[in-house]
A and B are shown apart, each in its own frame.
Chain A
Amino acid sequence: MSTKGTVKGIISNLVTVEVDGPVSQNEICYIQLGDERLMAEVLKVTGKNVSVQVFESTRGLKVGSDVEFMGHMLEVTLGPGLLSHNYDGLQNDLDKLTGVFLKRGEYNFPLDKEKKWKFVPLVEKGSKVEAASWLGEVDENFQPHKIMVPFSFLGEYTVKSIVPEGEYTIMDTVAVLTDADGKDHEVNMIQKWPVKKPILVHTEKPRPFKLLETGVRTIDTANPIAEGGTGFIPGPFGTGKTVLQHAISKQAEADIVIMAACGERANEVVELFVEFPELIDPHTGHSLMERTIIIANTSSMPVASREASVYTAMTIAEYYRAMGLKVLLMADSTSRWAQALREMSNRMEELPGQDAFPMDLSATIGNFYSRAGFVYLKNGKTGSITFIGTVSPAGGNLKEPVTEGTKKVARCFFALEQARADSKRYPAVNPIDSYSKYIEYPEFEEYISELISPDWTCKVNDMKTMLQRGKEVQEQINILGDDGVPVDYHVTFWKSEVIDFVILQQDAFDKIDAVTPIERQKYILDLVMEICNTEYEFNGFVEVMEYFKRIINVCKQMNYSEFKSDDFEKYRKELGEILEERRKK
């Protein structure tokens, strides 16, 4: 019999419940309010009194209301049909909800129970299987979606029966598995999993070593992220966190993209709803929406489900990784998640840490990031979750708990800079402060040099050195004045400006410039480094500026033209002529 309780106290969405039986930490319960049932999660148990956070507004709730405990933690339902859906933080299908406004207490089943899937068995009667073994496969939006032994099954099982190839719903039994004690278990296409527990079904988690192509030059060329890697984008408001994440989500070379819109603007999610079905995945030619899942718990939606939303997204990502797929997960913004934790911790009157965040914030962030990664599955196949989170530091000051906690665990740091954004140098990623730890991994470097070219890393390093030198001479020029420094200084500075304008800056709203495949990035880097390694002749600094502005202008026209199109070649030729004008003989 399930545990029951009665409401004893209410402060905002923190409710005290007196219980008549056992409850567990993080157990889900429902509070009866008139004919609505409000979902809540156990946060603290003190004897018979249990503190629960309600995932909804508690307006009108009274002392004495009935509470029913469910005997499980917050779970998501996993199965074919998740792709292309828009869920809230608790995995309610937003499209199935009725009415214009969100109604509290309205929950729904996240998948389609009627739809028939073409199931192809992958095991035979008598096969030995364990949790996450692939029993069969259905085609979900052109992706092979594996039907797996539920992750909660412990030990070894024998396949007693498996249905033949055919059309089945997610509710139909597709296999019967016999456990070591000879007990039979029916398996259909869905399973549930508690979101706060990582799905651990791999044998090994090596250091990420493959490039995850994003099409964003300042990332791929300068500070690449690895498949299965982690990265974060901190920046004051308006510096381009969301635009950068959206750009990555459109072009990245991933099988599955999960966007967790966590406590940010609803209109930004609407943008995804509108754009994604229209856009084409450059790698497969299918609509982008077909590979995408959106978890939208925007800023005015309940705070407690905002906290849940990132876990919901991560758990779905782990599910697809267990199928051997390449998943890209993005959360915008992890600071809003941390703030949700803070609001609750303050209400519970816990001892606050820095900036009133919970004491264990850093550990919580660390645990979350550690769920990403590149893995070898038990069948030898590989799967990955690449995770990129944004951070919204208060006042743009990076010395704050969320940024610091994230910096400890994320391996790529894409620092957005106010000054760059102010001068519209988008994406405003500061090329000197930002880093990717992956380029220090020998196995990653080896992979890159094979994929792109053996001298790639060397060229990228040269480019970074030039940027650094450009910055240094710029400071000198600012101190000493244009004519207080040798003309060479101006040349060095303007060469770094060429790198900035042509490689680093990229217009996310221009159809062509927005995406740069690796092949084209190689072309641009080669070209820009050729410009930078050329020696020129000038009489005075004014000439330097005018000359390089022309170079930048032509290169930008190239960036706006289809790769190797007639226009592109025309500008390339024009550039060649400009370079000849002043090349030192």
Chain B
Amino acid sequence: MATKAFQKIYTKITQINKATCSLRASGIGNDELATVNGELAQVVKIMGDEVTLQVFGGTEGIPTDAEVIFLGKAPSLKVSDQLAGRFFNSYGDPIDGGPEVEGEEREIGGPSVNPVRRKQPSELIATGIAGIDLNNTLVSGQKIPFFADPDQPYNQVMANVALRAEADKIILGGMGLTNDDYLYFKHVFSNAGVLDRIVSFVNTTENPPVERLLIPDMALTAAEYFAVDKNEKVLVLLTDMTSYADALAIVSNRMDQIPSKDSMPGSLYSDLAKIYEKAVQFPEGGSITIIAVTTLSGGDITHSIPDNTGYITEGQLFLRRDTDIGKVIVDPFRSLSRLKQLVTGKKTREDHPQVMNAAVRLYSDASNAKTKLENGFDLTDYDERTLAFAREYSDKLLAIDVNIDTTTMLDVAWGLFAENFKPSEVNIKQELVDKYWKK
């Protein structure tokens, strides 16, 4: 960070703890950035002439006579078309060896869109994965996380979705990514020949955890530039938001704030909402869609992080290994796209909503039958048929390796219905049965 000539340099730190340091200074603005011996820090508290700074990289080794320079601005990013194809760290500095980006400097973490200036999302995002397109259809301007255990291939699924989504720009916000995952994304995007449509902000496990708090706002500031200024369709990938929330907890804990559930700060809901609510469809055509990853511990979605996320996002995609078919599937029970009804049956074939519901209902009957079987009871003929249906449904539609268009998905589903059931067993409007039932 270059310093300007007229900036006053402070060298008397009066207090240091694990995350913050304090000093006497005047004329300082709230949220303003500073450097402490070259380390980036931000004003988090001002009391009279005492200013408290949160040092992103941690306070280890900071001496009381460290050089503190206030930068007179909140964290910001220079935006222009030059962002495309580039890789940056949490501060927006290039990490790909390329030149600094030139452009208009914008503060990150800006205000939210006036709700009346939003357009209702209505454009379907096709991914080819039936567990998504058929049961949990995505829409431009939506925000939705994958809920997955750390050992599941969420980054791969997310990369697939990103590549098939036909976005003008894909912005990757990596938080606590392993170096391998970082290289994986880089590799996939460059193999697909789409590097020029990608912008990446990456904090890996090698970087200080608190730095990653800047990643979502950096990524979204870039996204807003392309969506608002350029009317582009932007897809933002945030992985892993659990690492982000953990960093929030570290900071609030070090600052002695009263934790609420699961040691998370009481403001977790608002903190996450500020990020996810940046997803938007603008009337002029630009949009920001956010696909995130929230890793779970032991599948527990009642933990504060997934729980608050679920209350904020427009659904969630739940990945689970189906041991019957030995594949990872998008779990139809716990997954939900809250925006699907804006497109299903409207942008897709008329029978979509009913087919989707009927299939999930039958799958649920199968899971009851399975419980019966496990408890040592005889199965009825209907039970047997639901089990047969479930196996095929899982393999041909729910598995994440499926890649077909929505109409084919519907046809496959009707085929499975006809193979296993009578029309009266599927509970679908008669007119649709008359039209689509496979004879």
Contacts and interface: CB of A to CB of B under 8 A. Distances in A.
To the question of whether A and B form a pair in one complex, the answer is yes
Interface of A: 8-12, 16, 57-64, 86, 94-95, 97, 99-104, 236-238, 263-267, 269-271, 273-274, 296, 298-301, 303, 336, 339, 342-343, 346, 352, 355-356, 392, 394-397, 422-424, 478, 481-484, 509, 541-542, 545-546, 549-550, 552-553, 556-557, 560
A549 B380 CA distance: 15
Interface string B368-409: 000110011110111000000000000000000000000000
Contact of B259 (A58, A97, A266, A356): A356
Contacts of A303: 267, 270
Interface stretch (B59-67, B113-121, B154-162, B211-219): B113-121
A303 B267 CA distance: 10
B270 A424 contact: no
B360 A424 contact: yes
A310 to B, nearest CB: 16
Interface in B246-286: 257-261, 266-267, 269-270, 273-274, 277-278, 280, 282
Given A9-B47, A57-B111, A265-B314, A300 B32 contact: no
Contact of A300 (B74, B261, B273): B273
B312 A299 contact: yes
Contacts of B261: 355, 394-395
Nearest to A95: B116
A57 B113 CA distance: 14
Given A102-B113, A270-B120, A478-B375, 7 more contacts: A60-B32, A63-B48, A94-B114, A97-B116, A99-B114, A300-B270, A557-B429
Given A298-B277, A339-B266, A481 B115 contact: no
A481 B372 contact: yes
B307 interface: yes
A241 to B, nearest CB: 10
Interface stretch (B79-87, B91-99, B175-183, B334-342): B334-342
B356 to A, nearest CB: 9
A263 B181 CA distance: 35
Interface residues on B, range: 35 or more
Closest 6 CB pairs between A and B?
A395-B302, A299-B273, A300-B277, A481-B377, A237-B310, A300-B112
A62 B258 contact: no
Nearest to B25: A63
A509 B336 CA distance: 16
A345 to B, nearest CB: 9
Contacts, number: 200
Contacts of B120: 267, 270-271, 273-274
5 contacts: A12-B44, A95-B116, A300-B278, A395-B302, A509-B353
Contact of A9 (B46, B118, B274, B312): B46
Given A423-B364, A482-B378, A86 B115 contact: yes
Interface string B413-439: 000000000001101011000000000
A237 B307 contact: yes
Contact of A63 (B31, B49, B371): B49
A30 to B, nearest CB: 17
Contacts of B119: 270
B174 interface: no
B249 to A, nearest CB: 13
B16 interface: no
B437 to A, nearest CB: 14
B187 interface: no
A101 B113 contact: yes
